[in-house]
Structure 1
Amino acid sequence: MKTYRIEFTQKIPVDLDTAWDFFSSPLNLSEITPKDMTFDVTSPNMEGIKMYPGMIITYKVSPLFGIKLNWVTEITHVKDKEYFIDEQRFGPFAFWHHNHHFETIDGGVLMHDILHYSIGYGPIGLIANSIMVSKKINEIFDFRYKKVEALFGKLP
């Protein structure tokens, strides 16, 4: 099974507390996800909840062709104001491991994402990744980059 690695970075002009408060709230994920994915958090009673190790978060999402899928992630690791890791337990990928890192820099915060994923399905998965999945993941992170910039501003 082929595993892919993608990294994304972004600098935002806010303090670490502000960045952490926003990104560690599961409900804010839908705000920085493209609307055509119809991303909905379906876990009950999430208002005001911050991520913690062992937390299970359920979603409905339409990653491709408008087909609604269930997605279940577990927050496996959290180091307050430094990083958290989410891993897919059920969903569209054979493997999904996403590190979110936060670091104070001059004038703001550097966010660094490291994503490992696999589609599975042997040669069909390789083809699917090369013609659409990799492109879709990059589109999602490009959208997120622009949305975060619109919400918080940008650093040079």
Structure 2
Amino acid sequence: MAFYQLLKEQKINCTIDEIWDFISSPANLKEITPDYMGFDIVSKNLPEKMYPGMIISYKVSPLLGIKTLWVTEITKVRDKQYFVDEQRVGPYSLWHHQHIIEPIENGVLMKDIVSYQPPFGFLGAIANTLIIKNKLKEIFDYRTQAVEKKFGIYEEN
């Protein structure tokens, strides 16, 4: 079975507190997800901030407009440093997403490390080559733009 990783880094023009307040709130996920994905949180009564053990359910249309249930668990949280979400129900055989933030001069460095395994063995590997890896890159490129729109473009001195 094939296993893949997507690594993404972004420098952000904000403070640790500002970006943590934004990314640790499940309600903000929709703001950084492309509209065409039809992303909707279906969990009721979500708290303002995530915590370890939190389960979040979504409906999302990653391909061809087909609605899919996606359930993630927030497995680890270290305040203002990182959190990890892992898929419990959804389209992947494995999904482990680390969100890491660290202060840098004039802002914050945000890193995403997504480890994933498509379903269906060899067919999933082909799908990754033809579709999945490009779709994930497109989604994270959108997130980069959405974060820049919210916080401004990072400028080094």
TM-score (norm 2): 0.97
Cα separation, 2, equivalents of 1:22 and 1:134: 26
Alignment-derived partner of residue 2 in structure 1: 2
Alignment-derived partner of residue 123 in structure 1: 122
**1:100-124 per-position Cα deviation (integer Å, ceiling 9, x unaligned):** 0010111111101111000021111
Cα separation, 2, equivalents of 1:3 and 1:126: 8
Cα separation, 2, equivalents of 1:23 and 1:123: 34
Aligned partners of 2:40 and 2:60 also within 8 Å: yes
Aligned with 1:71: secondary structure?
strand
TM-score (norm 1): 0.97
Cα separation, 2, equivalents of 1:20 and 1:140: 20
Mapping for residues 1-150 of structure 1, pairs under 5 Å: 1-46=1-46, 49-150=48-149
For structure 1, the residue ranges without an aligned partner over 5 or more in a row are: none
Cα separation, 2, equivalents of 1:122 and 1:96: 15
Aligned with 2:115: secondary structure?
strand
Aligned partners of 2:7 and 2:112 also within 8 Å: yes
**Paired AA for residue 21 in structure 1:** D
Identity of aligned residues (%): 55
The ranges of structure 1 where at least 4 consecutive aligned residues each deviate by more than 6 angstroms after the TM superposition are: none
Cα separation, 2, equivalents of 1:64 and 1:38: 10
Aligned with 2:43: secondary structure?
coil
Cα separation, 2, equivalents of 1:10 and 1:27: 21
For structure 2, the residue ranges without an aligned partner over 5 or more in a row are: none
Aligned residues: 155
Cα separation, 1, equivalents of 2:85 and 2:49: 13
Aligned partners of 1:2 and 1:120 also within 8 Å: no
Cα separation, 1, equivalents of 2:122 and 2:52: 35
Deviation at 1:125, TM superposition (A): 0.4
Cα separation, 1, equivalents of 2:43 and 2:113: 25
Aligned with 1:58: secondary structure?
strand
Aligned with 1:2: secondary structure?
coil
